[in-house]
Chain A
Amino acid sequence: QKEVEQNSGPLSVPEGAIASLNCTYSDRVSQSFFWYRQYSGKSPELIMSIYSNGDKEDGRFTAQLNKASQYVSLLIRDSQPSDSATYLCAVASGGGADGLTFGKGTHLIIQP
């Protein structure tokens, strides 16, 4: 049973600070990792993908991957109230037979 674990939160962060979201996964052969953002009542939208160990930066977002520790994280710098949403971590195994496995998400609240 492939699992993706996230702290459900809510995670409360002051405006302008760094928000740190974490995710662990159980399937050691996983190769593709994604972060999706879901606003209340809306559908998920992709914000970051990462495939190799290390950091990947895109604007205010940085994804970090450590395959040895089976750990993925998302950093949001200069957090804005508009970043308040649920962040979903998704993992794909090499063969892709099970589609994307999603965590249940972390509810992030940016306090003005």
Chain B
Amino acid sequence: KAGVTQTPRYLIKTRGQQVTLSCSPISGHRSVSWYQQTPGQGLQFLFEYFSETQRNKGNFPGRFSGRQFSNSRSEMNVSTLELGDSALYLCASSLGTGVTGELFFGEGSRLTVL
């Protein structure tokens, strides 16, 4: 059974640009959650999608957005990149809603903003 797949794995952007990250969950999983991981703040919740609807959203500015497609694949977008957006972005899928279910994480997309 294939795991959670995230693309791209690594990317470098400059301030002011935008970026789109992609996540394909485990087959059959309907919930996709996104987290930002940095050395200083640890893992922080961005948002969760379940059956194409955003169910929960963390305390991040509106520059961070996401969506989920009918096949459960998800994308997150960060616009007007700032240096502080440099982080590992982790996607996690689960059968039920991400809060009460077991999360399976992808390998992450490491974003560097110059």
- Chain A residues with CB under 8 Å of chain B are 31-32, 34, 36, 42-46, 49, 88, 90, 92-93, 96-105
Contacts and interface: CB of A to CB of B under 8 A. Distances in A.
A37 to B, nearest CB: 11
Contact of B48 (A32, A42, A88, A99): A99
Contacts of B107: 42-43
Contacts of B76: none
A34 B45 CA distance: 15
Interface in B77-107: 90, 97-100, 102-107
3 closest residue pairs by CB, A with B: A96-B99, A99-B45, A104-B42
B100 A98 contact: no
A99 B100 contact: no
Contacts of A92: 99-100
Interface of B: 33, 35, 41-48, 55-56, 58-59, 90, 97-100, 102-108
A100 B103 contact: yes
A85 B78 CA distance: 30
Contacts, number: 62
Nearest to A51: B100
B1 to A, nearest CB: 15
Given A46-B102, A46-B103, A104-B42, A99 B108 contact: no
Contacts of A100: 33, 45, 98-99, 103
Contacts of B55: 96
A90 B106 CA distance: 17
Contact of B102 (A42, A49, A102): A49
Contacts of B99: 32, 92-93, 96, 99-100
Nearest to B91: A43
Contacts of B46: 99
Given A43-B107, A45-B104, A46-B104, 4 more contacts: A44-B105, A96-B56, A102-B35, A102-B43
